[in-house]
């Protein structure tokens, strides 16, 4: 990938990030939740530019994802795109120290979107919730187009290996996860973004490709959710 230096919108603190991972994985999750099942970790690229595209079912999601895909699974720290409303005060400062950066979902700024692209060009693993907000229903909601557009813009700027999107199904045993609630995190086969550009990086081509890529991601997520609901094995 082209060398890129992500802006100061976020960072992974060398002190706070490993501490947060340790507390979440060794204390918070084991003490609060029941059985935690993780499926499909072999789909996670160990290197290169990756977007994790999970369903969004609870605030716990951002703690579960590092357990399933973070440094213990891949040796990588996750970077999170979060809504601007969450990045305020002390909480906002902490989120930015742990790799999160704010985006106004109603009116995204050029700086925040550029930061997401810079992270991908730097070979990071970026988490974007394509549904937008939290939905308690166990079904895939309409996806926002921003994830696909950002992925395609990063791919258009890349000079060598491509951007990949990993669909993730997050499921809790209750709509509002309580004490002892079981959890399943399932990761599907990665989608190669470069297959949607065919060498055409014009703005109109990216816009058209984003629709196809969003539809493909929606279909992958819907298949994973349906198979889980029907008791079928999640594709491995």
Mean pLDDT per 10-residue interval, the chain, length 236 residues? 51 90 92 96 94 95 94 92 79 85 74 87 94 92 93 86 94 95 96 85 83 97 94 56
Q: Look at the chain and report how many structural domains it folds into.
A: 1
* Residue 10 domain-assigned (yes or no): no
What pLDDT sits at residue 236?
A: 43
Instruction: Tell me if 99 is assigned to some domain.
Output: yes
Q: Is residue 89 part of a domain?
A: yes
The CATH number linked to 185 is: 3.40.1130.10
Q: What is this structure's pTM?
A: 0.89
Residue 234 lies in a domain: no
Quick one: which H or E segment has residue 39? strand 36-39
Q: Can you give the pLDDT at residue 7?
A: 47
| pLDDT at residue 155, as a whole number | 93
| In a domain? residue 4 | no
CA dist., res. 52 & res. 105, Å (int)? 18
CA neighbours closer than 13 Å in the CB half-sphere of residue 102? 15
pLDDT, position 101: 84
In a domain, 66, yes or no: yes
Q: Does residue 52 contact residue 126 with C-beta atoms inside 8 Å?
A: yes
79 within a domain of the structure (yes/no) = yes
Domain residue limits at 102: 16-229
Which helix (DSSP H) or strand (DSSP E) does residue 36 occupy? strand 36-39
Position 187 scores a pLDDT of: 97
For residue 136, give the nearest of 168, 171, 166 by alpha carbon. 171
Question: Helix 110-121 and helix 146-157: axis angle, to 10°?
Answer: 50
Query: Is 2 inside any structural domain?
Result: no
| Type and span of the H or E element at 168 | strand 164-172
């Amino acid at each position: 990938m082209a060398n890129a230096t992500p802006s100061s919108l976020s960072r992974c603190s060398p002190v706070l990030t490993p501490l947060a991972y340790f507390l979440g994985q060794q204390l918070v999750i084991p003490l609060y939740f029941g059985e935690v099942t993780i499926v499909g970790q072999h789909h996670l690229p160990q290197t290169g530019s990756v977007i994790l595209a999970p369903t969004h079912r609870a605030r716990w999601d951002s703690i579960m994802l590092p357990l399933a895909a973070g440094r213990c699974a891949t040796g990588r720290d996750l970077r999170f795109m979060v809504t601007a409303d969450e990045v305020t005060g002390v909480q906002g400062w902490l989120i930015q120290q742990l790799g999160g950066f704010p985006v106004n979902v109603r009116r995204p700024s050029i700086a925040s979107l550029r930061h997401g692209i810079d992270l991908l060009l730097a070979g990071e693993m970026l988490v974007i919730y394509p549904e937008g907000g939290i939905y308690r229903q166990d079904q895939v909601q309409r996806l926002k187009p921003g994830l696909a557009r950002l992925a395609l813009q990063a791919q258009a700027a890349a000079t060598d290996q491509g951007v990949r999107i990993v669909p993730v199904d997050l499921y809790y045993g209750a709509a509002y996860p309580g004490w002892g609630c079981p959890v399943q995190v399932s990761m599907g086969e990665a989608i190669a973004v470069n297959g949607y550009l065919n060498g055409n990086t014009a703005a109109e081509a990216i816009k058209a490709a984003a629709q196809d890529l969003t539809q493909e991601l929606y279909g992958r997520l819907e298949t994973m959710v349906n198979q889980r609901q029907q008791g079928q094995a999640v594709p491995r």
